[in-house]
Structure 1
Amino acid sequence: MKVILIRHTESIGNKQKVYAGKTDFDLTETGLLQMKKVVTQLAKMIDSTSNYTLYSSPLRRCTALSEEIELFTGATKKIESRLHETNFGVFEGKSYADLLKEMPEIVEKWNEDLLNFQIPNGESLKQCAERVNVFVREMTAINEDIIVVTHGGIMKLLLLNFLHLDLNQFWKFYTGNGCIIEIEYNDGFGFLKNIIQHN
């Protein structure tokens, strides 16, 4: 089973350096340029005879890229709500500096338990991981080659899951805008084949 994970390219939220989970930000000019580079790189990686199923987060910053991928793969994207970025609740649209000014007590509790603390009106990282885990179990049961267009945090959770790594390893990976990660997964064993950064 071949797995290609792709993070969306630069969005307005990324440029503003704010927490952007459920907020449906558009891409920046840089993001549109990055998207062309990602598609060009992906076209080099995929064999013309390959048959990938394409999954995408429902947010525009992901569907824009998945629609470009549709054009050269011939695959029709499947919108998958479990690939949605972490719901940052009251943190949405705010920078870390904003949070320290506006809600320092909540930030302190969050930093004390980054895995389990549920952001008010949002999710904990563990809750987010649980929905991603269900998605991966379904994909490995189907055992087909897949391309997944998603978000930075979700991409890391997918990577951990396919490689059978603990959630505590979440912060040991960097997934920049337009990042492509290639994984081989067979008979319950996954290995990291390639990481390509585009920023």
Structure 2
Amino acid sequence: MNVYLVRHGQSQSNVERRYCGNYDSNLTDIGRKQAETVRQKLQYINFDAVFCSDRTRAKETAQIILKDKNIKIAYDVRLNETNFGIFENKKYDEIKKLYPEESTQWERNWKNYAIPEGESVAMSFERVKNFMKRLESIQQPDSNVLVVTHGGILRLFYCYILNHNIELFWKFSAKNIGVSVIKYEYDNWYIDSIGI
């Protein structure tokens, strides 16, 4: 199975360098053009299934990529970005100023600290693991699957493949509209390419 992983196009929160997980930021005009570029890149691939985060920036990206294809998009909250809770749509300096104690705890324990009204990276990883098990249940070995999601979730996909090692989270880049390919063969995941 070939799984094409796409991070959504540039969003307004990306431009403003804000932490944007559950916050529903829209694509910019540049983000829409980026999605159109990916549409052209992937236009000759026949997708057997498409999964997408239910956040607007991911939905719009998927809809642009698939505008010439007649395929249903399955929106899946397991693919949503980590929920930043009280930090949502705030810049780093704002977070430090408004929530000094919480931001210090978050920095000291980035994996397991659940941001108030949000979640931890470890909690997001549980969602990703559950989703990956869903992909593993697809019984068509030559199928092509498209997944449109977020930067943090893409990093967790790689962590899952590399022995569920969440410590590797910061070892990967996940640029807007980057296309990565992972494959599942003989009960084994491997990374074919990252961010092409």
- Return the TM-score normalized by structure 1: 0.91
Match of 2:176 in 1: 177
* 2:186 aligned partner: 187
- The DSSP-based 3-state class of the residue aligned with 1:72 is coil
Which structure is higher in helix share?
1
Distance 1:28 1:70 in 2: 18
SS of structure 2 residue aligned to 1:142: coil
1:137 match: 133
> Which residue is 1:19 aligned to?
19
- The 3 A distance-change label for structure 1 pair 163 and 40 is farther
Two-structure CA RMSD over aligned residues (Å): 1.5
TM alignment of 1:25-104, pairs within 5 A: 25-43=25-43, 46=45, 50-104=46-100
Q: Name the CA distance, whole Å, in 2 between partners of 1:54 and 1:83.
A: 12
Q: Tell me by how many angstroms 1:165 deviates.
A: 4.1
How far apart are 1:100 and its partner, in Å? Answer: 1.3
Q: CA deviation at 1:30?
A: 1.2
Q: Secondary structure at the match of 1:181?
A: strand
Is contact 1:21–1:92 with CA below 8 Å preserved after alignment?
yes
Indicate the SS of the match to 1:132: helix
Answering whether residue 109 of structure 2 is matched by residue 110 of structure 1, we say: no
- Equivalent residue for 1:126, pick from 122, 127, 137: 122
Aligned partner of residue 20 in structure 2, secondary structure = coil
Counterparts of residues 144-183 of structure 1 (less than 5 Å):
144=140, 145-183=144-182
Measured after TM superposition, the shift of residue 195 of structure 1 is: 2.2
More displaced stretch, 156-165 vs 22-31: 156-165
Verify the 8 A CA contact 1:21 1:87 in the aligned structure 2: yes
| 8 Å contact kept, 2:47–2:146 | no
Aligned residues between the structures: 193
User: Contact 1:164/1:190 (CA < 8 Å) preserved in 2?
Assistant: no
Q: Distance in 1 between matches of 2:70 and 2:169?
A: 33
SS of the aligned residue for 2:194 comes to strand
Separation (CA, whole Å) in 2 of partners of 1:129 and 1:82:
9
Shift of 1:164: 3.0
Residue 52 of structure 1, CA deviation: 2.4
Is the Cα–Cα contact under 8 Å of residues 38 and 65 in structure 2 kept in the other structure? Answer: no
In the alignment, structure 1 segments of 5+ residues that lack a partner are none
Instruction: Call closer, same or farther: CA 1:149–1:133 in 2, change over 3 Å.
Output: same
Structure 1 residues 120 and 13: alpha-carbon distance in aligned structure 2, compared to 1, 3 A threshold: same
2: CA distance, partners of 1:119 / 1:52: 37
Residues 131/186 of structure 1: CA separation in 2 closer, same or farther (3 Å cut): same
Query: Which digits, 9 at most, give the CA deviation of each residue in 1:60-90, with x for residues without a partner?
Result: 1111121123333432111111111111000
Displacement of 1:178 in angstroms is: 0.4
